[in-house]
Every structure is written in structure tokens, then in C-alpha cells.
């Protein structure tokens, strides 16, 4: 990308031209309001009117929106800091465990670029200052998946949630694994809006992202490698397949970290292996897995198994699936190599088979 270099050369050339040939240049604007200097047209040429100029032409809203955003930048930055403080205070008051609450406000350049986006020649945002709702962003990073839902529910109770999307479900609905995060669009509730302390947040919204540590790591990795990197066309399909597999395993690992908070991490290949068993059981989503494990959670598997060592998360899931499905689990193709040991474990879980 050499636009900046070319722009610098052109500006330097015009500056030199204006210095040596002031009579052959024309200045538009004023020193007070801003101006540009450009070589003047020859005397025998006139500027060509813009195509379609006239009363029927709708003014481009982008320049005006960028000027307005630039004028409000200071107030928007301050509002962003206050939204971060508000979310932090709500979480602390509720006693929810979290890793961090951070935020950012769009730079003028980022806002201008988004405001100028078009699809089929039409602006995506007809009124950029009102339609671009992520001018202020707040991000909550939790440790485990269940706390994502807890934070989202808490926000619904404490502020106005104008939009709420589970991006993991959106991704899954498209038939793929990948980016997972809870996105909410929040605004002040009526009680806070009437308080002077929140005056600078009145009428404003913030885009709130809620995700776990693993989801955040994945999002950063995927953005830097998958979207900003360069993948040869002949390797693109295999690269996507590997990313899909890795995203699915990461999602399962994240789920198990919350399901068995007292268990340690398991080997990477163990997550892949247990995923294959889940597919054999026709369990294709974490929601389905949650439903399967719900009745098993009532059993004290730790006491029944009398572990002599701290079991990893995959082993805990392995025992839970054994308790849930019994002989059917033992007979899965992926368990063919360990049938005797599974039968012995099943007897410890449910007692001797009559």
C-alpha cells in the first residue's frame, strides 16, 4: 500500500509548483477555515460540472457525520470511560468473578472508514452518527462459560439491553465453528438516566462483548492469522477445516472448564478423542451435552469413583457419559479398545449388573 507515499509526493510537487508559479495556482477556502492549493486550469478550459449535480442529488452524509464525530470525540471518549466504570460497578456489586473489564472508543479514522462502507454502491449507514452503534465498546472477559451467561443476565437486569446476540450460535447456524462471544447493545436504565452522575451517558449506547479467556484468545488469534494473514488459495479449504476443528475443540475445552471447575486441563488429543465419542452419541451441540449431563450432575461421581488422583476434565466427562448412557456408551466404536475397563468403571458407578 503506497497511497501515503504518493500523496506526499503530489503535495510536495504542488507546494513547489505554487512557490515557483504562484500565478498559475488557485486557492480554495481560507486560512481560518482551511484551504487547498492546486494548479489552475489553462485559460481555454473550464471545469466540467459534476454529473447529476443539482437539487435532485442527495448530499453524501459521510463528511458531515465525520465532522460531527470529530467534534464530539472528546465527549465520546469520556462516555466510554464512564460505561466501563458502570459495567465494572455492576459486576462488583453482584459479586461475579471476572478477569477484566476494558473498553475503547472508535478513532475518527475508524469511524470514517465504517461510515463510508457501501454494498452495491449504496451506503450501509444512511445516518452514520445514529446507525453506527459501536462507537463505544466495552469488553468483559470471564474465566468460564457459565459466567458469560451470568454477566449477560445481570446486564438485562441492570440496564437497557437493546440487542443481544450469541455470536457462537450465529456461527453454528451457518454450519461452522469459529468466533464465539456474547454481544449486547446497552443503554442507561430509566433510574440511572435521571441521575446527574450519568448525564454524559444519556442518549448513548455501548457495544458490550462478553467472552471467556479462551474465546478471547481464539478471537485474537483468528483475526490475526485467518483474516489478516495470507493463505494460498490451494490451501484455503484445508486451512478452514483445521480452524473449524480447532474452534470446536476449544469450545468443548471451555465448556468443560466451567462444568468441572475443580478439574485440571486434559491433553489436547483427549479433547479430540472425546469429541468423536460425542458425535457417536449424536450429541452435536453444547446445549445437547448440557441436557445429557443435567441428571448426572445430581450424582456424586467423585465419591462413587473414589479417584486416587486428580482427574482431568475429559476423564470427568468420560465418567459422566458412562453414567448417563451405561452399556450403550461401553459399546461405542471409539471405546472398542477399552471395553473391560469401562465395564469395571460402570459397575462402580451403578453397582453390579444382575
Quote the percentage of the chain above a pLDDT of 90. Answer: 45
Residue 170 pLDDT greater than 60, yes or no = no
How confident is residue 310, by pLDDT bands cut at 50, 70 and 90?
confident
CA distance 155 to 99: 17
CA distance 201 to 196: 10
Average pLDDT (140-165) is 92
29-48 pLDDT per residue, tens: 666 556 677 887 776 666 66
CA distance 325 to 334: 14
81-116 pLDDT per residue, tens: 999 999 999 999 999 889 999 999 999 999 999 999
> For residue 127, what are the contacts with CB-CB under 8 A and spacing of at least 6?
61, 65
64-85 pLDDT per residue, tens: 999 999 999 999 999 999 999 9
Average pLDDT (299-306) is 84
Rounded to 5 degrees, φ, ψ at 211 are -155, 160
CATH fold group of domain 61-227:
Beta Polymerase; domain 2 (3.30.460)
Rounded to 5 degrees, φ, ψ at 104 are -160, 160
Average pLDDT (127-154) is 92
- Cα–Cα distances in angstroms (integers) from residue 138 to residues 183, 186, 339, in the given order: 10, 10, 50
For Cα atoms 261, 263, 264, give the angle at the middle one, nearest 5 degrees: 115
CA distance 136 to 201: 11
Q: Of the ranges 132-146, 191-205, 235-249, which one carries the lowest mean pLDDT score?
A: 235-249
CA distance 140 to 180: 13
For Cα atoms 301, 305, 309, give the angle at the middle one, nearest 5 degrees: 110
214-243 pLDDT per residue, tens: 777 766 666 555 555 566 667 666 656 666
Quote the percentage of the chain above a pLDDT of 70. Answer: 79
Q: Where are the domain boundaries for CATH 3.30.460.10 in the chain?
A: 61-227
How many alpha carbons fall within 13 Å on the CB side of residue 117? 11
How many alpha carbons fall within 13 Å on the CB side of residue 296? 23
The pLDDT value recorded for residue 146 is: 83
Amino acid at each position: 500500500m503506497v497511497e501515503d507515499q504518493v500523496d506526499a509526493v503530489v503535495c510536495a510537487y504542488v507546494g513547489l509548483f505554487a512557490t515557483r508559479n504562484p500565478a498559475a495556482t488557485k486557492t480554495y477556502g481560507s486560512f481560518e477555515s482551511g484551504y487547498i492549493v492546486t494548479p489552475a486550469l489553462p485559460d481555454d478550459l473550464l471545469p466540467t460540472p459534476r454529473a447529476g449535480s443539482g437539487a435532485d442529488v442527495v448530499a453524501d452524509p459521510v463528511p458531515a457525520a465525520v465532522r460531527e464525530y470529530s467534534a464530539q470525540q472528546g465527549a465520546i471518549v469520556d462516555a466510554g470511560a464512564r460505561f466501563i466504570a458502570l459495567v465494572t460497578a455492576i459486576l462488583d456489586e453482584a459479586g461475579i468473578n471476572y478477569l477484566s473489564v476494558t473498553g475503547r472508543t472508535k478513532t475518527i479514522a475508524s469511524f470514517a472508514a465504517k461510515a463510508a462502507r457501501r454494498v452495491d454502491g449504496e451506503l450501509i449507514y444512511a445516518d452514520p452518527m445514529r446507525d453506527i452503534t459501536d462507537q463505544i465498546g466495552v469488553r468483559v472477559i470471564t474465566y468460564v462459560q457459565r459466567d458469560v451467561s451470568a454477566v449477560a443476565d445481570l446486564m438485562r437486569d441492570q440496564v437497557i439491553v437493546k440487542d443481544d446476540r450469541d455470536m457462537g450460535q450465529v456461527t453454528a447456524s451457518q454450519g461452522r465453528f469459529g468466533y464465539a462471544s456474547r454481544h449486547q447493545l446497552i443503554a442507561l436504565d430509566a433510574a440511572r438516566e435521571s441521575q446527574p452522575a450519568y448525564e454524559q451517558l444519556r442518549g448513548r449506547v455501548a457495544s458490550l462483548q462478553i467472552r471467556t479467556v479462551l474465546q478471547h484468545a481464539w478471537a485474537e488469534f483468528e483475526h490475526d492469522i485467518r483474516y489478516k494473514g495470507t493463505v494460498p488459495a490451494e490451501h484455503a479449504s484445508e486451512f478452514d477445516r483445521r480452524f473449524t476443528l480447532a474452534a470446536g475443540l476449544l469450545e468443548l475445552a471451555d465448556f468443560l472448564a466451567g462444568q468441572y471447575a475443580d478439574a485440571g486441563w486434559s491433553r489436547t488429543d483427549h479433547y479430540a478423542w472425546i469429541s468423536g465419542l460425542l458425535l457417536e452419541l449424536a450429541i452435536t451441540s453444547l446445549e445437547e451435552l448440557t441436557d445429557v449431563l443435567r441428571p448426572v450432575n445430581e450424582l456424586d461421581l467423585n465419591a462413587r469413583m473414589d479417584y486416587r488422583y486428580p482427574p482431568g476434565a475429559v476423564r470427568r466427562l468420560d465418567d459422566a457419559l458412562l453414567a448417563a448412557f451405561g452399556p450403550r456408551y461401553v459399546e461405542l466404536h471409539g471405546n472398542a479398545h477399552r471395553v473391560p475397563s469401562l465395564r469395571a468403571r460402570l459397575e462402580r458407578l451403578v453397582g453390579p449388573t444382575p
